[in-house]
Chain A
């Protein structure tokens, strides 16, 4: 009976094909919920098809029926009888054991804007089609460049760090936020909004969102405190002109065309704009390159290539001065970079700096900009660039790492990169780049900040060629001398730069996974206050990105501390946080440092059931509660009503305790506090309930103080309930029930057959 069996197999094949298509054939991959929905629909369709008439149905059911009843299929029946309950049991177990996920937050994405808002006491109507800036440009088109340049400068100095040079929401702090900063280029934000709406969002920020749009972690500040009305309209004009999106206009006003004849690409040369793509290519690479450069690079690197654009003074490290002819990332000998080297940095950006990846530009424009950049340095004229010879690759191995460690010591890499490689040189070291700007040695444990890439071959190339313009020297010439320095030691005799690169690369993690949730399990046994106790260091930690506080002055555009590892547990009495962060210098005012290193765990006040405070220490009506530590003092508690408005608790109110240790460029802190205290503002830890938590770190030696800090956005945390026994009870029960049902089905089928 080939046909009936065919029917069943057909159905199974259709289902498998559909599953493969939905799982792997569609990009981006769909969430599991959508996948299961599609599969359910497909299954229904298949069932409808096979049951379209009774013959077809019989043909479909026949193999199942046969398996249930035929004596010859007993082994298969038995196998299925064991396998299916086991699968069900396993599924039940994996579901019961699943890690907690942050609770779903429902909110309106684009809430209805108010008709008017109060802006610094002035009423502003958001319904007008023409903004003051557009009106001015209509009356006097010559003012367009002025407004656009002003908008660009405001954007670069205030918005770029999160929303990105490309206006795509991928600024160099974007990874620290959830939700991610708005992407202005795509179709989902300003393209479907009116300029009035955008004004409202900029002026009032996340704290000004209406109820239906909360709770939300929006980090967007209320800019009305820091920008004037005209400045906001200018930056809005810049956003629309640069992305090429026309603003949505209220229907009653739609008849009047908005700003005609101002097509993209007519920006005056030298305008401080990272503006729209040039409309047409000019003859010659350099001419096109100049055009691209002035639109996209001059904001930081300056119109004359000296690295002195309007954003330059805010950036650490400073943008490259192209006139010097010294390039950090090179594969050639000497201080100049090859065309490929330059193109690579233009395309991929420079990790750990403000230089973004410009891969969205056509290759032609990127190559042209490289050709133009080279015209700034005299030394490129007639220069012959020689590729550096790379030694034969040595794979990473225990022996290679041992040789590499010996090289690390012999070459005295510790002088700048520190004993443990965390970029913690001897106290008092003041490294400067060739322009006299302070410069930090790389933290070798954070390979994602390596300027020229973190692959082993990148590290080898940096060792060979050095990083021109910085204190990092080339060591290619010394390797031969090193090999001869101790002929008796085979590790020295056979050393290769690859060994050193392998060792350097082994200090940091292979990959970095940011946590999205802080799960706080109950402690088993005593919880030590010693931050170096093994029960802490062996526990897996949640790694959270920290970003500079770039909203309230003084701002922190390049924080020393870019991540924090959090380990936390709780007991019946207390919650205990263990925090780890790298800081190249310990600054303790009781030992003469001008400003202390500090850390804070930010929580809501009291039961934490009200509106979530703004992530920058809340505000007057939504204060936050903080567990704090500062170098030279004990662990403490505080409340705050906005950044820089912190009120420490004193006397008996302080029940938090802890210990902090510093070694080889790394802080480890234990901060513990009773779950509940008698003080009203103190946060109450309640097992099983999600609560928001954020973190602050100050590097005193970098001048951090008050608002100048590194900060995380809000994360959800939960004191996990003790592991339920259910995950060991329910699965066997389900498996037994499934087995019994199968047995019953088979028996029933056999009886029906016998009856027939």
Chain B
């Protein structure tokens, strides 16, 4: 259990790199199975928009690629959220973390249980956390270079767009949920572990492409494969 939590915190910090397990199963759910699979985009991927960086170049670089729909080599869709919507995740011991680094949000999609989100500014330039929440109160707070860390509360389940007005290309998502949720990696792969045996509803949510749900049967100690395909 402890390992799982450590793993999940680590995973959040390096979310882009691979399969992410955010929250484990309810305590004592031994003998659970796992769900893994792939989320694909039907059709060709749109070309990412390239934006010339016009300020803070020493930190932000010279150009940024904006891909609201990011697709890997085999047509796998990254940054999609896969959740078991009829199970509850364990309460995390530490708040989720959203970092602003190189004038990008890391991870691009942060999954958090209702509660606190730790927001870091690793850049040393002014950012502002501007959320477009509706269930939760919207936030627009400056995070100047000398404010390395701040904490915001998001109490209600919601997929929230977050942007920085100082750097117009910066776009991220905060997914507040009580369900066990994984984020697909660069190739669209995901894995949800320690899911209690039985029939479950698994839903994939993409910030731009919308939702899709499937019924999945999980057997103890076994991995169940499921595949999704989202359309533009």
Interface of chain B residues 128 through 150 with chain A (CB within 8 A): 128-130, 132, 137-138, 140-148, 150
Bound-state CA distance A432–B130 (Å) is 12
Bound-state CA distance A148–B144 (Å) is 53
- Chain B residues with CB under 8 Å of A266's CB are none
Instruction: Determine if A431 and B144 form an interchain contact, defined as CB atoms under 8 angstroms apart.
Output: no
Instruction: Determine if A326 and B138 form an interchain contact, defined as CB atoms under 8 angstroms apart.
Output: yes
Instruction: Determine if A481 and B55 form an interchain contact, defined as CB atoms under 8 angstroms apart.
Output: no
B166 at the interface (CB under 8 A from A): yes
Q: What total of A-B pairs shows CB separation below 8 Å?
A: 79
Interface of chain B residues 39 through 59 with chain A (CB within 8 A): 52, 54-55
Q: Which of B128, B132, B140, B146 contacts A410 (CB 8 A)?
A: B146
Bound-state CA distance A470–B163 (Å) is 12
Given contacts A334-B137, A415-B126, A472-B140, contact A428 B52 (CB under 8 A): yes
A24 at the interface (CB under 8 A from B): no
Bound-state CA distance A660–B41 (Å) is 54
Q: Which of A335, A466, A478 has the most CB of B within 10 A?
A: A478
Instruction: Determine if A482 and B144 form an interchain contact, defined as CB atoms under 8 angstroms apart.
Output: yes
B155 at the interface (CB under 8 A from A): no
A282 at the interface (CB under 8 A from B): no
Instruction: Determine if B146 and A474 form an interchain contact, defined as CB atoms under 8 angstroms apart.
Output: no
Instruction: Determine if B137 and A379 form an interchain contact, defined as CB atoms under 8 angstroms apart.
Output: yes
- Chain B residues with CB under 8 Å of A379's CB are 137
- Chain A residues with CB under 8 Å of B128's CB are 471, 473
Residue interface mask B162-178, A partner, CB < 8 A = 1: 00011010000000000
B226 at the interface (CB under 8 A from A): no
Instruction: Determine if B143 and A412 form an interchain contact, defined as CB atoms under 8 angstroms apart.
Output: no
Instruction: Determine if A431 and B165 form an interchain contact, defined as CB atoms under 8 angstroms apart.
Output: yes
Instruction: Determine if B166 and A416 form an interchain contact, defined as CB atoms under 8 angstroms apart.
Output: yes
Instruction: Determine if B142 and A411 form an interchain contact, defined as CB atoms under 8 angstroms apart.
Output: yes
B125 at the interface (CB under 8 A from A): yes
- Chain A residues with CB under 8 Å of B137's CB are 334-335, 379
Instruction: Determine if A416 and B147 form an interchain contact, defined as CB atoms under 8 angstroms apart.
Output: no
Instruction: Determine if A428 and B54 form an interchain contact, defined as CB atoms under 8 angstroms apart.
Output: yes
**Chain A residue at minimum C-beta to C-beta distance from B136:** A379
- Chain B residues with CB under 8 Å of A471's CB are 128, 130, 140, 165-166
Instruction: Determine if B150 and A429 form an interchain contact, defined as CB atoms under 8 angstroms apart.
Output: no
Bound-state CA distance A410–B124 (Å) is 11
Instruction: Determine if A477 and B147 form an interchain contact, defined as CB atoms under 8 angstroms apart.
Output: yes
Bound-state CA distance A112–B1 (Å) is 94
- Chain B residues with CB under 8 Å of A429's CB are 54-55, 168
Instruction: Determine if A473 and B54 form an interchain contact, defined as CB atoms under 8 angstroms apart.
Output: no
Instruction: Determine if A478 and B165 form an interchain contact, defined as CB atoms under 8 angstroms apart.
Output: no
Given contacts A471-B140, A473-B140, contact A478 B147 (CB under 8 A): yes
Number of interface residues of B (CB under 8 A): 24
Residue interface mask A412-443, B partner, CB < 8 A = 1: 10011000000000111111101000000000
- Chain B residues with CB under 8 Å of A470's CB are 140
Instruction: Determine if A466 and B166 form an interchain contact, defined as CB atoms under 8 angstroms apart.
Output: no
Bound-state CA distance A474–B140 (Å) is 6
Residue interface mask B96-133, A partner, CB < 8 A = 1: 00000000000000000000000000000110111010
Bound-state CA distance A326–B136 (Å) is 12
Instruction: Determine if B141 and A466 form an interchain contact, defined as CB atoms under 8 angstroms apart.
Output: yes
Q: Which of B52, B125, B141 contacts A474 (CB 8 A)?
A: B141
- Chain A residues with CB under 8 Å of B132's CB are 434
- Chain A residues with CB under 8 Å of B55's CB are 415, 426, 429
Instruction: Determine if B138 and A473 form an interchain contact, defined as CB atoms under 8 angstroms apart.
Output: no
Bound-state CA distance A470–B129 (Å) is 12
**Chain B residue at minimum C-beta to C-beta distance from A474:** B141
Interface of chain A residues 425 through 479 with chain B (CB within 8 A): 426-432, 434, 466, 468, 470-475, 477-478
Instruction: Determine if A485 and B138 form an interchain contact, defined as CB atoms under 8 angstroms apart.
Output: no
Given contacts A434-B132, A478-B146, A481-B147, contact A468 B126 (CB under 8 A): no
Give min CB distance, A428 to chain B, whole Å. Answer: 4
Give min CB distance, A347 to chain B, whole Å. Answer: 26
Bound-state CA distance A649–B146 (Å) is 57
Instruction: Determine if A478 and B142 form an interchain contact, defined as CB atoms under 8 angstroms apart.
Output: yes
Instruction: Determine if B147 and A473 form an interchain contact, defined as CB atoms under 8 angstroms apart.
Output: no
Instruction: Determine if B141 and A477 form an interchain contact, defined as CB atoms under 8 angstroms apart.
Output: yes
Instruction: Determine if B147 and A466 form an interchain contact, defined as CB atoms under 8 angstroms apart.
Output: no
Bound-state CA distance A416–B166 (Å) is 7
Give min CB distance, A179 to chain B, whole Å. Answer: 43
Bound-state CA distance A411–B54 (Å) is 19
- Chain B residues with CB under 8 Å of A426's CB are 54-55
Bound-state CA distance A427–B146 (Å) is 25
Given contacts A410-B146, A478-B146, contact A430 B168 (CB under 8 A): yes
- Chain A residues with CB under 8 Å of B126's CB are 411-412, 415
Interface of chain A residues 294 through 336 with chain B (CB within 8 A): 326, 334-335
- Chain B residues with CB under 8 Å of A428's CB are 52, 54
Q: Which of B137, B140, B147 has the most CB of A within 10 A?
A: B140
- Chain B residues with CB under 8 Å of A477's CB are 141-142, 147, 150
Interface of chain A residues 142 through 172 with chain B (CB within 8 A): none
Interface of chain A residues 586 through 634 with chain B (CB within 8 A): none
- Chain A residues with CB under 8 Å of B146's CB are 410, 478, 481-482, 484-485
- Chain A residues with CB under 8 Å of B147's CB are 477-478, 481-482
Q: Which of A326, A427, A475 has the most CB of B within 10 A?
A: A475
Bound-state CA distance A335–B128 (Å) is 16
**Chain B residue at minimum C-beta to C-beta distance from A478:** B147
Bound-state CA distance A430–B168 (Å) is 7
Give min CB distance, A423 to chain B, whole Å. Answer: 14
Given contacts A412-B126, A427-B54, A428-B52, contact A474 B168 (CB under 8 A): no
Instruction: Determine if B125 and A473 form an interchain contact, defined as CB atoms under 8 angstroms apart.
Output: no
Bound-state CA distance A412–B126 (Å) is 6
**Chain A residue at minimum C-beta to C-beta distance from B53:** A428
Bound-state CA distance A326–B143 (Å) is 21
Bound-state CA distance A426–B166 (Å) is 10
- Chain B residues with CB under 8 Å of A335's CB are 137-138
Bound-state CA distance A468–B128 (Å) is 13
**Chain B residue at minimum C-beta to C-beta distance from A411:** B144
- Chain B residues with CB under 8 Å of A432's CB are 168
**Chain B residue at minimum C-beta to C-beta distance from A407:** B144
Bound-state CA distance A430–B163 (Å) is 13
Bound-state CA distance A312–B27 (Å) is 55
Give A residues with C-beta under 8 Å from B. Answer: 326, 334-335, 379, 410-412, 415-416, 426-432, 434, 466, 468, 470-475, 477-478, 481-482, 484-485
Could you list some 14 contacts between A and B, CB below 8 A?
A: A410-B144, A411-B144, A412-B144, A416-B165, A471-B166, A473-B130, A473-B140, A473-B165, A475-B144, A478-B142, A478-B143, A482-B144, A482-B146, A485-B146
Give B residues with C-beta under 8 Å from A. Answer: 52, 54-55, 125-126, 128-130, 132, 137-138, 140-148, 150, 165-166, 168
The 8 closest A-B pairs by CB, nearest first: A471-B165, A412-B126, A485-B146, A473-B142, A473-B128, A428-B54, A481-B147, A475-B142
Question: What 12 new A-B contacts, CB under 8 Å, besides A471-B165, A477-B147?
Answer: A326-B138, A334-B137, A335-B138, A379-B137, A411-B126, A412-B145, A415-B55, A466-B140, A473-B129, A478-B142, A481-B147, A485-B146
